[in-house]
Structure 1
């Protein structure tokens, strides 16, 4: 009997040790996750002297292969800002606030466990559109819904004083929400391109055109709705002017504008960067994830060469969205073909620099035949981190 008791005790001790080792490993894994989480939400200590380089001063030459660790960290950080748009969006059709943000502006980052992000949300952005976008817009089924026509489309945030020191400048970040699914919105929103000046966006070149659905979403308004009484464009320009006036003109600080978005949000990021650059001389950089093409060849020329805008496009090579529109005439065809087809409504070109990723080469992501997984922003961030 004593031998049995001793065996049981020894077995219990072994089990206790196994549990303790598992718990220790769990704690170590948790610390590692916390460390990586902290790195993804806060800028690195050595960023300040290199921020212009990381923001594309030299078009990221020599920084993509091999992948510069500081640039990698910044891409993940801005990608997390874009992911916050999905995490905070209310998708519940039975919620009164379906189509809106689940959290107040003042508690936004705290509610998303991003309290140490180092930014303060200063403005929410809302949009309405005459184009039907079933996979972008959400409507509440309740009679007392917060809005009948508006959808929360993103936010503007500004770095706090401590983060500004780490960044080397005061950063105004604009984050645009995209679509949850991938190809469904394309047919509705990019059926043809149209002159950008026709929607009130100033440009001296009347040949500059962008996809009609994107620019309509950016400029449409509903005067009967207090959230979309002013267009997303009006809201953006007013808030950026206010922040630039406050920090650059009144305080004499160096200011940058960083714009990010995923999917449709990537296109809106590119469009709003163009719009802001036409208006004021503040460094503007776009960090786009899985964005479709937006404009024609003259748009690309003005964006890159005349306005000198910087855009880094993060793309999963198996993702279909960045390949549309412009299946026939795009930036990959010979220049004479692009110029000859610039006036055609199906001519589109990507802007900026491409950073290609491949989920099939990642040891951390399982291969799948589900196309929507190729487009998922969290998958993109895993690829960047791995």
Structure 2
């Protein structure tokens, strides 16, 4: 099992309590609207949780992360491959949040002479839409007592992103003022690279990677803090979230935000996230008072990664010795600078055994699915159980839902009046626009009043 599991002995019971609360709530409040979930502090059922996390807010951030998967155009045949399917003003994250800006990451793994050949007709294969920044609307801000800014990162959804994921050599983070902090090369590249040197006027998407994802997020946070915190004198909190690769990027960005804005409440909620950096990087999160919650499903392989080098593997043989657990803790505490460690903070471990709908098979891909995470957090009462099998085969046969059922009808093709098939163009409002941001306060106030919620079924996701 990945990381420092201080909650091992109570994890299964805790997930059972999650389901117990969900069932009681569903029976007592069956008439309530679909977006309401039973809420309770996690530390009520899991003493090892030190933070003030609640079940509903963890589920909310998971669904915000799911929206990043659902809106990514990962269809190889699409002329907009790598972009967001919707324009900024049509992006509806849900839960009372309003998207204010998109984030693009430079995926730079192919030789320069190869890219024009492979991607000649594509929107751009070196600048991928990797997430979005959203702010809580007025109603949600009043409910929470704080204006929450959510920075949401998408997980791996393309082959070139997989290629970046496996770049596990450790490199200096070079941010936050700590020269000893090091992180995985692939995560660092997606976060800090830009394609300014490869701008091509004939490639409409190339301008989207002019600045790095790191700079894009920093600029949008500065803009939102100037408006909400400085102009309106509101209490502001920034929460970074993501699944898998998105969880890694969330930790990188959270460390930057904490260093840039001392005293700002910064949090990170990750789902099935890998290890990101060394002890110095981990300590930087602690020193910056970043509240971290890592949600993992037992048996998900990704939280074990990168596994070489890793302080846990270095210390693993020591756990067999007398007082082995204490030696293991010491090994992590004084891990070498080249060893990967998980971020310090709270950890919520979910078990597939807690759900009567899930197979108990050791399905590596299935246990990493964000839909499985959300199913276990939800208790199977609000979210449609069929969503589990959108991109996995984790549901038992008795449920009667086929595996990996989600797919675009006719791969997005439409038929014209003459009976000919064609790939339709996007609406103008859904065309990718570089440097597009929601205007403050005019557009933001209008979006707050919409009060729309994100549909729960859209496009399938990867990991």
The TM-score, its normalising length taken from structure 2, stands at: 0.64
The structural deviation recorded for 1:251 is 0.8
Q: Which residue matches 1:287?
A: 269
* Cα distance in 2 for residues equivalent to 1:139 and 1:120: 36
Contact 1:96 1:142 in 2 (8 A): no
1:264 corresponds to 2:245 = yes
* Cα distance in 2 for residues equivalent to 1:288 and 1:140: 37
* Cα distance in 2 for residues equivalent to 1:66 and 1:173: 26
Q: Kindly provide the CA deviation profile for residues 126-151 of structure 1, in whole angstroms up to 9, marking residues without a partner as x.
A: 0113246xxxxx99987543224211
Q: Give the aligned CA root-mean-square deviation in angstroms.
A: 3.2
The structural deviation recorded for 1:355 is 0.5
Q: 1:130-169 maps to which residues of 2 (within 5 A)?
A: 130-131=108-109, 143-169=120-146
Q: Which residue matches 1:39?
A: 36
Contact 2:65 2:152 in 1 (8 A): yes
The structural deviation recorded for 1:240 is 0.4
1:76 corresponds to 2:59 = yes
The structural deviation recorded for 1:348 is 3.0
Runs (5+) with no aligned partner, structure 2: 1-25, 200-205, 316-327, 380-463
Instruction: Evaluate the alpha carbon distance shift between residue 180 and residue 195 of structure 1 in structure 2; reply closer, same or farther with a 3 A threshold.
Output: same
* Cα distance in 2 for residues equivalent to 1:340 and 1:244: 37
Q: Kindly provide the CA deviation profile for residues 81-117 of structure 1, in whole angstroms up to 9, marking residues without a partner as x.
A: 00001111112111111111111111111xx7x4xx3
Q: Kindly provide the CA deviation profile for residues 317-348 of structure 1, in whole angstroms up to 9, marking residues without a partner as x.
A: 1100001124564358434434554223x443
* Cα distance in 2 for residues equivalent to 1:170 and 1:383: 28
1:364 corresponds to 2:357 = yes
* Cα distance in 2 for residues equivalent to 1:93 and 1:239: 30
1:354 corresponds to 2:347 = yes
Contact 2:292 2:345 in 1 (8 A): yes
1:337 corresponds to 2:331 = yes
Q: Kindly provide the CA deviation profile for residues 295-318 of structure 1, in whole angstroms up to 9, marking residues without a partner as x.
A: 1112212211x1111110000111
Higher relative contact order (CA 8 A, sep 6+): 2
Q: Which residue matches 1:129?
A: 107
Q: Which residue matches 1:120?
A: 98
Q: Secondary structure at the match of 2:372?
A: helix
Q: 1:203-214 maps to which residues of 2 (within 5 A)?
A: 203=177, 205-214=178-187
Runs of 4+ aligned residues of structure 1 deviating over 6 Å after TM superposition are: 66-70, 138-142
Q: 1:58-77 maps to which residues of 2 (within 5 A)?
A: 62=44, 64-65=46-47, 71-77=54-60
Q: Which residue matches 2:368?
A: 375
Runs (5+) with no aligned partner, structure 1: 1-27, 48-53, 55-59, 133-137
Structure number, greater radius of gyration: 1
Q: Which residue matches 2:83?
A: 100
Instruction: Evaluate the alpha carbon distance shift between residue 39 and residue 343 of structure 1 in structure 2; reply closer, same or farther with a 3 A threshold.
Output: same
Q: Kindly provide the CA deviation profile for residues 37-91 of structure 1, in whole angstroms up to 9, marking residues without a partner as x.
A: 4126xx97xx9xxxxxx7xxxxx75563599997111111110000001111112
The TM-score, its normalising length taken from structure 1, stands at: 0.76
The structural deviation recorded for 1:209 is 1.0
Instruction: Evaluate the alpha carbon distance shift between residue 61 and residue 370 of structure 1 in structure 2; reply closer, same or farther with a 3 A threshold.
Output: closer
